Amino acid sequence: MDFIAIGDTATDEFIKLKEARVNCDVDDQNCTISMKWGDKIPFEFSVLIPGVGNAANAAVAAARLGLSSGFVSNVGNDRFGEETLKTFKREGVDTKYIAVNDGLPTNHHYVLWYEAERTILIKHEAYPYRIPEEFMPPKWIYLSSASEHSEAFHGELVAWLIRHPETKLAFQPGTFQMNMGKEKLAALYAATEVVAVNKEEAERILELGVTDIKELLEKIRSLGPKIALITDGPNGAYVFDGTEMLKVPMYPDSKPPLDRTGAGDAATSTFVVALALGKSLSEALLWGPVNSMSVVQEIGAQKGLLTRKALEKLVAEAPAHYRVEPLS
């Protein structure tokens, strides 16, 4: 298999809020959303979307872009678990490594959606994390968000990767993995081909305040990965492989974004898929923001993910300013 994602999956329940107040710092950073305490808060509608999550989104992105794709994860033996498995099968993602757990529910998250942004209420169930029996080494593993119960699993994965050098690892740390700290995951970073994070996550992992992107790229790569990829929202994306340090702007939106959920997942997973398809570092960086632009035009993290034909068409039709350049 070309690409196997590992991580948690969930059913996202989107709740489109009608009324809220957003407060931001002077530079429009560190925004908070507030609603009147004790009130009944009206909402426009809600939508259930099964089979999502950082790694899940990556598995679907890979399948749509033409790779043979699978997923290592857990669901509960319930309605949401059944819907999740059906979703992946419909997308062409191999589900043989997804464990169905009796006595534990499928992860269910609530997405408070206001204007184009969202705040997500999350709860990760205490699933048993392990490398499946008869796990066949793929060309790439894409590891992302897992719960606080997964710490030991990361060591098992490092040992497995040492035994299987033919498999490359891409690592997009989730919240709990960042909470573990870079020291506990030092061996994992050292075994990684690509680490992909956004700018704020890079600063958090490195325990830094606001830091220049060039310094972040160098310090993330110094943790051990061969390639550091950092996305920075409207400022675009950046990559460093020890030789080339490159940047690409955000791909222009065709219309105002509807929902930004999954934009980062789309950019980082598409970058990795491009590498898996044999694209150069520069070409891979060019691909990522295109899929990110498409995802924010739809509700949820997967509906807007592109096929390879559609993505290559958008790259070919890109405006002149959309190009990869060295980061000075």
Helix runs in the chain, H state only: 54-64, 79-91, 151-163, 175-180, 186-190, 199-205, 213-221, 263-276, 281-295, 308-316
pTM for this one? 0.92
- CA pair distance 270, 245, nearest whole angstrom: 19
Q: Ramachandran region of residue 184, left (φ > 0), alpha (ψ -120 to 50) or beta?
A: alpha
Who wins on pLDDT, 25 or 101? Answer: 101
Note the pLDDT of residue 308. 97
Query: Domain for residue 212, yes or no?
Result: yes
Query: Domain for residue 119, yes or no?
Result: no
Note the pLDDT of residue 300. 82
Mean pLDDT for the chain overall: 94
- Judged on CB neighbours under 10 Å (0-12, 13-18, 19+), 257 is middle
- CA pair distance 151, 265, nearest whole angstrom: 22
Cα distances (angstroms) measured from residue 216 to each of 137, 199, 220, 275, 292: 32, 8, 6, 22, 22
Burial 178-191 (b: 16+ CB within 10 A, else e): eeeebeebebbbeb
| pLDDT (mean) for 240-248 | 97
For the stretch 45-57, pLDDT in tens is 999 999 999 999 9
| pLDDT (mean) for 140-146 | 95
* Dihedral of the alpha carbons of 274, 137, 295, 278, in degrees to the nearest 10: 10
**CB atoms near residue 242 (< 10 Å):** 12
The CATH number linked to 186 is 3.40.1190.20
Which is nearest to 175 in space by CA: 156, 150, 211?
150
Query: Domain for residue 21, yes or no?
Result: no
| pLDDT (mean) for 186-191 | 96
For the stretch 313-322, pLDDT in tens is 999 999 999 9
| pLDDT (mean) for 38-63 | 94
Note the pLDDT of residue 28. 65
Quick check: helix, strand or coil at residue 128? coil
Domains held by the chain: number: 1
Query: Domain for residue 78, yes or no?
Result: no
- pLDDT reading at 214 higher than 70: yes
Query: Domain for residue 182, yes or no?
Result: yes
Query: Domain for residue 35, yes or no?
Result: no
Query: Domain for residue 24, yes or no?
Result: no
Who wins on pLDDT, 299 or 267? Answer: 267
Note the pLDDT of residue 254. 80
CB 154 within 8 A of CB 182: no
Note the pLDDT of residue 18. 87
- CA pair distance 320, 42, nearest whole angstrom: 44
Query: Domain for residue 270, yes or no?
Result: yes
**CB atoms near residue 5 (< 10 Å):** 32
Which is nearest to 62 in space by CA: 326, 321, 271, 315?
271
| pLDDT (mean) for 193-212 | 96
Residue range(s) defining the domain that contains residue 253? 59-72+89-100+130-326
| pLDDT (mean) for 220-227 | 98
For the stretch 91-126, pLDDT in tens is 999 999 999 999 999 999 999 988 878 898 988 899
